[in-house]
Amino acid sequence: MNFELKTLSLAAAAKSSTDTLIVLISESFQAGKDPLSELIDKATKAKDFSAKAGKSLQAYAIAGVGAAKIVLVGVAQGKPADVKSAVAGAMAGLKSAETAKTLIVFAGAASADTLQAAVLAVAEGTYVYGTTLSTPKARKLTQVTLGVASANQAMKDTFAASVAMVQGIEFAKEWANRPANHATPTLLGKAAQGLAKSAGFSCEVLGPKEVAKLGMGSFMSVAKGSAEPLRFIVLKYQGATKSDAPVVLVGKGITFDTGGISIKPAAEMDEMKFDMGGAASVLGVFKSLTVLKPKINVVGLIPACENMPDGLAVKPGDVVTSMSGQTIEILNTDAEGRLILCDALTYAERFKPKAVIDIATLTGACVIALGAIRSGMFATEDDLAEALLKAGNEAMDLCWRMPLDDDYADALKSNFADVANVGGRAGGAITAAKFLHRFAKKYPWAHLDIAGTAWKGGAAKGATGRPVGLLLQYLLSQQIAGKK
């Protein structure tokens, strides 16, 4: 899908040739003398339309308007959330219609934030998955033009970033949505290599022998029960000088999670194909970076494997040795994400990073705590936490800071190893973060628990592509900070 930004008045928008013209109208709208203003004014006076959020009106073949179909949409005060909701509603109607081209025009002032909200809503509302369908349904909408009365440089930059963000989000959705037999660790590694080859950054994919040489005993223990060989994917994007310390993103890549010997219930186990949502988000961010080419350095690390209950699978009570040398008592094999991440966090030390952020569908406890609205965020540095919160707000990909008090680590004490991989039920998202914290002491570190936000269940089942938006917004803010 192609996006374009144009400077258009309502009068110019009326003359534009497009399949569907969507007009976003705030409560402060002042009617002019153009055909669209007259339509809005008449509909409002007749009480057929209101600029309140969620209100809409469709019209056809209006004199003086080039589009065959017109949709008036209320955006209330015109805040980003109002715009996103309004455009999402309009897209729901277009998804089933034969609309190839649409023009979305702001009937009043627009901002960088509202532009981004509109772009994100268009993409989200028209996304279709088709990889494993016998007759895939293509996205009918191919051209989207956004019209604003005027656009400063900040708006143009934000628009470009938003379009790149959409490409990353949809790349992440594609791989998270694929069934586990179409997204094995090997296939995930090939996807990363293909992306790197087309975009000009480096990618290295390590197999079992290389991972064994690194001493990643914790990671290897999770993969033991699967016939699919593990892969450790290392991506390097260099947009700044080599001396500039990178941000390292670590994505949990469990391509399917049965729970291992601590096997999960059968109901909804199919959704465990989404357990590589963290890995998918790292790939998505790299997709966006290659479009924008910011002057920053970013490393992506993806430990990828399946968690299966084979005769060779790791057992509850087994003790394994991590790459850091710390021993781990595995009390629950379904707490496997932290076991693959801890070795990747140790590996990250070699890059002398300015910050490391791991992203993982880690705990059901985080879903209970925050639901599907905000990702759980843990951070060792206040400035890192504040930057991530700000980025999430700007990208409309929200997170919330959770505690990292040392007292929570007491639940992870073991009589037989340096640390247990689980504590009790109480504070489960926090004790999981405290486990990871043991392996991330040599750099500023943040952990994003996306178990509640990486996918939707039920009738709307599918990956969300989160938190690609948050991560990309954060990385772009680091580029700006580096210029100061």
pLDDT of residue 427: 96
Torsion-angle region of 64 (φ positive above 0: left; ψ -120 to 50: alpha; else: beta): left
Amino acid (one-letter) located at 461: K
Peptide bond into 208 cis (omega under 30): no
Cα separation, 309 vs 280, whole angstroms: 24
Q: What does the alpha-carbon distance between residue 213 and residue 347 come to, in Å, rounded to a whole number?
A: 12
Q: Where do the domains of the chain lie, and which CATH numbers do they carry?
A: 2-149 (3.40.220.10), 171-483 (3.40.630.10)
Q: Could you give the residue numbers annotated as active site?
A: 264, 338
pLDDT (tens digit, 0 to 9) for every residue of the chain, 484 residues total?
899 999 999 999 999 999 999 999 999 998 888 999 999 999 999 999 999 988 999 998 788 899 989 999 999 999 999 999 999 999 988 876 778 999 999 998 899 999 999 999 999 999 999 999 999 888 889 999 999 999 999 999 999 999 999 999 999 999 999 999 999 999 999 999 999 998 889 999 999 999 999 999 999 999 999 999 999 999 999 999 999 999 999 999 999 999 999 999 999 999 999 999 999 999 999 999 999 999 999 999 999 999 999 999 999 999 999 999 999 999 999 999 999 999 999 999 999 999 999 999 999 999 999 999 999 999 999 999 999 999 999 999 999 999 999 999 999 999 999 999 999 999 999 999 999 999 999 999 999 999 999 999 999 999 999 999 999 999 999 987 666 5
Pairing of strands 297-307, 231-238: antiparallel
User: What pLDDT is attached to residue 468?
Assistant: 98
Instruction: Give, in order, the Cα–Cα distances in Å from 165 to each of 120, 144, 235, 289, 397.
Output: 8, 16, 18, 9, 12
**Cα→Cα distances 346→97, 247, 296, 436, Å:** 51, 15, 22, 10
CA separation for the pair 375, 385 (Å, rounded):
13
